[in-house]
Structure 1
Amino acid sequence: VSSVITESIFNDLLKHRNDAGCKAKGFYSYDAFIAAANAFPGFGTTGDLTSQKRELAAFFGQTSHETTGGWPTAPDGPYAWGYCFKEEQGNPPGEYCQASSQWPCASGKRYYGRGPVQISWNYNYGPAGKTVGFDGINNPDIVANDATVSFKTAVWFWMTEQSPKPSCHNVMAGGWGPSGSDTAAGRAAGYGVVTNIINGGLECGKGSDSRQEDRIGFYKRYCDILGVSYGSNLDCNSQKPFGFAAQSQPRLIKTVV
């Protein structure tokens, strides 16, 4: 991954992350990203160079939207302000606790959005911690205190399939093709399906959506920096969300963006 995302490119992608106005100033480091990337074989290294660059642009595009501090007239444009936050904004953030026998919530702990992908809910913190190597149920705060762990939760989410959704990685690395039901639902391989995986219940199948456009704007800027074409099917305007009839446990990171 470091051959595609050098430290200078990382700093260009996330140009304003350490600005004084960004609450995550000084948190998201290049070394932490590389350590997390190297912990997940295949991340950003699958397929040809075009696929690798698009996957990394997509990863940073989606996570930058989740952590953006940008605004329409921001210096260098709104898409130069990813990774401004490490914790969900809101007063106060919700608990995000769903009754679970496997991942029961710990007393006094809150599972609101933290880190690049704003991982939320006890049923995501639990398995993320199990894979990454921390106690996600009893120590969710580590995701906002340890940059390597923080990046690892984002890459974990990116690499992990949660049926009926494919993993974001498989979509961008070319390992996923639409089934008959996917095609009937308007879902085709491309960046738009990644948005559908992450927040389709709120953003997809409704025509143009400003949150979607923000995700696409980041992706295009990052593709331009990496010198790669965008590919097709960037939006999910006409895609039905995955598992539309069963949304009791959506693979939903964050509902307020």
Structure 2
Amino acid sequence: MAPYHSRSSARDNLRSVLAVAVFLTAAACAGVAEARYGAGQCSTVASIVSEELYSSLFLHKDDAACPAKGFYTYASFIRATRKFPKFGGAGDLVTRKREIAAFLAQISHETTGGWATAPDGPYSWGLCFKEEISPQSSYCDATNKEWPCYPGKSYHGRGPIQLSWNFNYGPAGQALGFDGLRNPELVANCSDTAFQTALWFWMTPRQPKPSCHQVMVGEYYPTTADTAANRTAGFGLITNIVNGGLECNIANDARVNSRIGFYRRYCQVLGVDVGSNLDCAHQLPYS
């Protein structure tokens, strides 16, 4: 039997070898990421959603029929996630996968070009549109003095989350380093900015709403008003945050069902269950 100190030395040597291996792996990861997606840390999301998987989720995003053809690239998505490292990086692996699935599901519905009998099914057509078609208004809330509308500009839906209204474009631009009020078109002209605005919306709480991220990672603590409105944690509350005023507190709403359909598909692909409270049929929307 070897002396104790020899076993200790062997263990220390093994730790050193493992430490070097981890360092080299991280360095290689950083090198690949920098070469392909720009400087910065390796994306936690990229370890879950590979480029191949991303392409399989959005089979038709680059079809000629999609106005966003060539716009929503995997590289832009990964670069955007690195600006928000907590996205897909909080909690255990199941929580991380479920959050990513929920985000991809919401942006898929917002930008879908699919229909019930579409090739490969309706849930293979996310990221087909990059801005709202035939907006009915300029989405200018003239009563909002903190983020005043700029003359001649429209704040209709753009990007993966279909960012809308001056009171969203203004703070999104401030947080991300562009003038969202004077140059809202950038969200439909720059794919990196488009994904960044979607993640900004996802990660940022706006009173009285929590952030979508907080809901998906277990950091949502309902207020008395939330409890009275039956706003329980789950994918349905995400829909309430995104578009509850038009879609929630309605039984069997087709738009809500579309969001859930995308979510079910992505959770299945990622190998996680969907969790509880999928819809918002019995939730009061935020005022």
After TM superposition, the score normalised by the length of structure 1 is 0.92
Task: Using the TM superposition, give the Cα deviation of residue 94 of structure 1 relative to its aligned residue in structure 2, in angstroms.
Answer: 2.2
Partner of 2:15: none
Partner of 1:235: 279
Q: Write out the 4+ residue segments of structure 1 that deviate beyond 3 Å after TM superposition.
A: none
Task: Using the TM superposition, give the Cα deviation of residue 93 of structure 1 relative to its aligned residue in structure 2, in angstroms.
Answer: 4.9
Residue type of the partner of 1:108? Answer: G
Higher helix share: 2
Residue type of the partner of 1:94? Answer: S
Partner of 1:2: 46
Q: What secondary structure is seen at the aligned counterpart in 2 of 1:113?
A: coil
Deviation string, structure 1 residues 66-125 (Cα, Å, up to 9, x no partner):
1000000001100000000001012x5521111232222112211110000000111110
Partner of 1:176: 220
1:83-98 map, 5 Å: 83-90=127-134, 93-98=136-141
1:128-143 map, 5 Å: 128-143=172-187
Task: Using the TM superposition, give the Cα deviation of residue 28 of structure 1 relative to its aligned residue in structure 2, in angstroms.
Answer: 0.3
Task: Using the TM superposition, give the Cα deviation of residue 149 of structure 1 relative to its aligned residue in structure 2, in angstroms.
Answer: 0.3
Quick one: distance in 2 between partners of 1:95 and 1:201?
Answer: 18
The question of 1:215 aligning with 2:244 is answered: no
After TM superposition, the score normalised by the length of structure 2 is 0.82
Quick one: distance in 2 between partners of 1:160 and 1:147?
Answer: 20
Match of 1:82 among 126, 138, 149: 126
Quick one: distance in 1 between partners of 2:208 and 2:141?
Answer: 20
Partner of 2:145: 101
State the superposition RMSD in angstroms. Answer: 1.1
Task: Using the TM superposition, give the Cα deviation of residue 219 of structure 1 relative to its aligned residue in structure 2, in angstroms.
Answer: 0.4
Task: Using the TM superposition, give the Cα deviation of residue 205 of structure 1 relative to its aligned residue in structure 2, in angstroms.
Answer: 1.0
Q: Which runs of 5+ in 1 are unaligned?
A: 244-257
Partner of 2:27: none
Partner of 1:44: 88
Q: Which has the higher contact order (CA 8 A, sep 6+)?
A: 1
Q: How many matched pairs?
A: 242
Identity percentage of aligned residues: 59
Match of 1:186 among 221, 224, 230: 230
Task: Using the TM superposition, give the Cα deviation of residue 216 of structure 1 relative to its aligned residue in structure 2, in angstroms.
Answer: 0.2
Report if the CA contact (8 A) 1:177-1:188 is conserved: no
Q: What secondary structure is seen at the aligned counterpart in 1 of 2:46?
A: coil
Q: Which runs of 5+ in 2 are unaligned?
A: 1-44
The question of 1:23 aligning with 2:67 is answered: yes
Task: Using the TM superposition, give the Cα deviation of residue 9 of structure 1 relative to its aligned residue in structure 2, in angstroms.
Answer: 1.1
